[in-house]
Each structure stands twice: as structure tokens, then as C-alpha cells.
């Protein structure tokens, strides 16, 4: 049963600490998305990758957030230093985008619930 996995599922940390969230996309998928969900803003795209290359990170605060794909089976989202306003649920999703098609079905991971005190 192929699914997107994310770790940790929950993270409580203090302001100023570094937070790293990990995502394992579905094997064979070539596109990985990072989303943030808050009560106020709903779901927002932070960044996404195609074949491990970053395509768009315009939704991400660049001074403290960074996203990488060190290999095809791992995507990471890092916050350093973390702030209370970063408290949210962070979702990773993956999909298979075919050549010439600008959309794909996305499969979401269970999310990482981050609380920054």
C-alpha cells in the first residue's frame, strides 16, 4: 500500500530552535510539494520539487525556511530559527507529472503538527 510518510508526526519546540521535518514520497513519483495549514490561512503551498530540483519556493519565508531533496526518497523542510507563528500542520504531498501535462493527482502525507512555544 503505497503512501507518503512524514516524520515526526508531532513536534513541540521552543522559539529559536531548529526544526527539521522529513517526507518520503511515493516511490516513482517525480514531484513533491510542501504545504502549511493554519486556521487563519488554510492550506498554502510553501515549495515544490520536480525530479529533485526546486521549481518554486515563493511561498516560503526565505530567511528561516529551507527545503531540499537530498535524494529521490527524501524531502526535508527545515526552519531555523523557529518562531511561534510557525505553529501549523505541515503536509508533504507527492505526485507523478507526465510530460506536457501541467497538473497531477497529489497524494498527501499525514502531516507534521508543529507547535513552537
Partner 1 sequence: KNEVEQSPQNLTAQEGEFITINCSYSVGISALHWLQQHPGGGIVSLFMLSSGKKKHGRLIATINIQEKHSSLHITASHPRDSAVYICAVNYNTDKLIFGTGTRLQVFP
Cell 513552537 sits at which residue?
A: 116
Closer CB to partner 1, 74 or 89, in the complex: 89
Binders of partner 1 among 18-37, rule CB under 8 A?
31, 33
Q: What is the DSSP letter of 85?
A: G
Total residues in contact with partner 1, by rule CB under 8 A? 24
Q: List the one residue from 22, 52, 78, 113 that touches partner 1 (CB under 8 A).
A: 113
Contact 77, 86 (CB under 8 A): no
The secondary element (H helix, E strand) that includes residue 55 is strand 53-56
Q: List the one residue from 45, 72, 74, 96 that touches partner 1 (CB under 8 A).
A: 45
Amino acid at each position: 500500500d503505497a503512501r507518503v510518510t512524514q516524520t515526526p508526526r508531532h513536534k513541540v519546540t521552543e522559539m529559536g530552535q531548529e526544526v527539521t521535518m522529513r517526507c518520503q514520497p511515493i516511490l516513482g513519483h517525480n514531484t513533491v510539494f510542501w504545504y502549511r495549514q493554519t486556521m487563519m490561512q488554510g492550506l498554502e503551498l510553501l515549495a515544490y520539487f520536480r525530479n529533485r530540483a526546486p521549481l518554486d519556493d515563493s511561498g516560503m519565508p526565505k530567511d528561516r525556511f529551507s527545503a531540499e531533496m537530498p535524494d529521490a526518497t527524501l524531502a526535508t523542510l527545515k526552519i531555523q530559527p523557529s518562531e511561534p507563528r510557525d505553529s501549523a500542520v505541515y503536509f508533504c504531498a507527492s505526485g507523478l507529472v507526465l510530460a506536457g501535462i501541467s497538473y497531477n493527482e497529489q497524494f498527501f502525507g499525514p502531516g507534521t503538527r508543529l507547535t513552537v512555544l
